[in-house]
Each structure stands twice: as structure tokens, then as C-alpha cells.
């Protein structure tokens, strides 16, 4: 079976490789931002529980 080696193939095209890396970095940044929002929400919820007494 022959591997696909055409334009925009990340295995052979350096620009496609760069785009793939940039996409992965952006995905990770989005996940990190989402996790930070969850953490802030948990902190707020814990503060709420502490002040409920």
C-alpha cells in the first residue's frame, strides 16, 4: 500500500507540519484556559460553602 504524499501532507510538507504544530499549541492553550475556568469555579464554590455557615 502506498502512503499518500501530496500537498498539505504533514509527513512531507514543512508548512503543513508547522500548521499542525500551531493547531496543537492552540488546542492546548484552549484546554488550559478551560481548566483554569473550572478551577476558578471550584474556588468560588469552596468559598461559597465556607461562608454558608
pLDDT tens profile 1-53: 445 555 667 678 888 888 889 999 989 888 888 888 887 777 776 777 777 76
Tell me, yes or no, whether 2 lies in a domain: no
In a domain, 7, yes or no: no
Q: Alpha-carbon distance 21 to 13, whole Å?
A: 12
Closest by Cα among 2, 28, 29 to 11? 2
Task: State the pLDDT at residue 50.
Answer: 77
Q: Is residue 1 part of a domain?
A: no
Does 24 fall in a domain?
A: yes
User: Which structural domain, as residue segments, surrounds residue 39?
Assistant: 19-51
The answer to whether position 4 is within a domain reads no
Residue 44 domain flag: yes
Q: How many domains does the chain have?
A: 1
Report the pLDDT value the prediction gives residue 1, as an integer from 0 to 100.
42
Compute CA distances 30 → 15, 19, 42, whole Å.
22, 16, 18
Is 11 a domain residue?
no
Q: What is the pTM of this model?
A: 0.49
Structural domain includes residue 25: yes
Q: What is the pLDDT of residue 53?
A: 60
Amino acid at each position: 500500500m502506498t502512503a499518500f504524499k501530496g500537498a498539505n501532507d504533514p509527513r512531507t510538507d514543512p508548512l503543513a507540519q508547522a500548521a499542525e504544530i500551531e493547531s496543537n499549541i492552540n488546542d492546548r492553550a484552549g484546554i488550559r484556559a478551560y481548566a483554569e475556568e473550572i478551577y476558578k469555579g471550584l474556588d468560588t464554590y469552596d468559598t461559597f460553602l465556607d461562608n454558608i455557615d
